[in-house]
Amino acid sequence: MQREIIESLNGHKGGVVWFTGLPGSGKTTIANRVQERLLQSGIRCVVLDGDQLRKGLNRDLGFSETDRLENLRRAAEIAQLFVEAGMFVLAPFITPTDSCRAVVKSYVKEEDYSELYVKCSLDSCVQRDPKGMYSLAIAGKLPQFTGISAPYEPPVNSDLVIDTECCELQQCVDILVQFVQSKL
């Protein structure tokens, strides 16, 4: 079935909001809450979660630069497949460098793609440390950890920036829901 027909049946367009930010910045938490809100309002959407992909489809990949790029390439291709099926995709991935973000953009159609920078200082992310990963990385037990032993390059031209140090979760969700609705 053609994408236009599916989007007409859905009552909305497909698209991708690709999140980027340090581990622990709030990407997945925001994505899950936004998905709840969008589904409640009749928007067909999916969270394409990096942690889930790494446990399944991408379990053969490590955290070298080559493996990170392949992880993101696969995720971007999956995201575009969902979009072609009329879905709106929320993709919370660290996507740590400009070269990583360029790979994603090369697989998701420009008209379907929006980039969200979930801004949060390294200090705050270390304090949050929801999975205990920062403490392992700081102790040298977790090599290639973004923000500690691997670089994170904040994007300079994101379509939207949400600062999770300045905004409460509900405000972050409201901002992103409004942004997504403007894309539909």
The reply to whether 62 sits in an annotated binding site is no
The reply to whether 86 sits in an annotated binding site is no
Contact 141, 45 (CB under 8 A): no
Instruction: Flag whether 27 is marked binding.
Output: yes
Packing angle of the helix pair 27-40, 169-183 (nearest 10 deg): 60
Is 23 known as a binding-site position?
yes
Q: Kindly list the distances between the CA atom of residue 140 and the CA atoms of 51, 65, 71, in Å, as whole numbers in the listed order.
A: 21, 19, 23
The DSSP element (H or E) to which 132 belongs, if any, is: none
134 CB neighbour count, 10 Å cutoff: 22
Is residue 25 marked as binding? yes
Residue list for the binding site for ATP: 21-28
Residue list for the binding site: 21-28
